[in-house]
Amino acid sequence: MAVISPTSPAAAAWGDPAIIARCGFAALSPTTLDCIQVDGIDWVVEPLDDGVAFTTYGRDPALEVLIPKAYAPEPMVLPDFDQVAEALPRTGHACT
């Protein structure tokens, strides 16, 4: 998959339609949004009109991955981000 050059060094994009990963967000506070665990990494799930936004939960800084509907089921893409997400410091929060 070709990497698209974003304008921010804290972001990367791949494919068409693009899967976008952005890092450097503040750790998420507790939320009522759905939270799933994939490969031991907790992700908050936010449905969007054109796909899904997944943001690491219990990591600071947080990693956000925007996955278009074309890649459904979208959670199947998250293991590609395991190495990056696992490197982020844990806050002690987890999906319940």
Q: How many domains does the chain have?
A: 1
Residue 78 lies in a domain: yes
Helix (H, G, I), strand (E, B) or coil at 83: helix
pLDDT over threshold 70, residue 61: yes
- Count the residues in the chain: 96
Residue 65 lies in a domain: yes
pLDDT over threshold 90, residue 6: no
Residue 93 lies in a domain: no
CA distance 28 to 56: 8
Query: By residue range, what is the domain housing residue 8?
Result: 3-87
pLDDT over threshold 60, residue 75: yes
pLDDT over threshold 60, residue 1: no
Residue 81 lies in a domain: yes
| CB contact set of 53 (below 8 Å; sequence gap of 6+) | 45, 46, 64, 65, 66, 67
CA distance 49 to 70: 12
Residue 87: predicted pLDDT: 97
Residue 43 lies in a domain: yes
What confidence tier does 9 reach under pLDDT thresholds 50, 70, 90? confident
Residue 57 lies in a domain: yes
Residue 18 lies in a domain: yes
Q: How much is the pTM? A: 0.90
CA dihedral 66, 83, 85, 11 (to 10 degrees): -50
CA 64 to centroid of chain Cα atoms:
4
Residue 4: predicted pLDDT: 53
Residue 27 lies in a domain: yes
